Amino acid sequence: MVQIVISSGGTGTLAQWLLVELQGEVEPRQSGDLAGNLLGDLHYTCEGIPVLIVGHHILYGKVVQLEKPFAVLVKQGGAPQSSPMEPHSHYTVTALIKTKLLFKTRPKPIITHVPRKV
């Protein structure tokens, strides 16, 4: 039987990350990986409402305390994306996520200045 250990590696307190939940897909503007690309600017209103500007859209969201936090696991050894039951693998808990920014509303398109027809 396979036994895969999930541990924090004992390196002190776990980092706290945030989850950003978006509807639909995020695609790079140019073809290729997302890695290295900008996503957008995240602001908060004075009332604490998250506002995300992505490309030509404004997304309004809310801060949600997660009833069930997440652990972010990073696989050690073995190939990535393979089944969880692969032997010789071990997961490290890199961080915990207790809060998410949920963007559920329809994105508002940003109308940029349209040149007048002459």
Partner 1 sequence: AAMRSRAEVDATLQTAKLNPAELLPAVHCLSFGPQAGGGECCLLQLEPGLCAELEAGRSLVIRGEKDEHAVLCSKDKTYDMKIADTSNMLLFVPGCKTPEELNADPASCNIIHSQIAGFSKNYWELRRCRPKLKKLRKLLMEDPYEGPDSQKDQTSTFSKYTTEDLLSLIQASEEEILHQLQVIDACKIEGYWRILDFDYEMKLLNHVTQLIDSESWSLSKVPLCACLEELGSLEPREMIEHILLSYGRKYVDDAGEVFFEMREDKICRAIAQMLLQNAVKFNLSEFEEVWQQSVPEGMKTRLDQLQGLALVDKSSRPETIFLLKVEDLPEDNQERFNSLFGIRQKWTEVDITPYIQDLCAEKQTVGALLTKYARSSMLNGVKVYNSRRPIS
Q: Which residues of this protein are in contact with partner 1, per CB under 8 A?
A: 1-8, 10, 13-15, 17-26, 33-46, 48, 50-53, 58, 63, 68-75, 80-81, 84-85, 93-99, 110, 112
CB of 117 to partner 1, least distance (A): 21
Among 49, 62, 54, smallest CA distance to 21 is for 62
CA dist 63 to 7, 21, 47, 71, Å? 28, 10, 11, 18
Cβ nearer to partner 1, comparing 83 with 118: 83
Half-sphere exposure of 96 (CA within 13 A, CB side): 10
CB of 67 to partner 1, least distance (A): 9
Cβ nearer to partner 1, comparing 21 with 106: 21
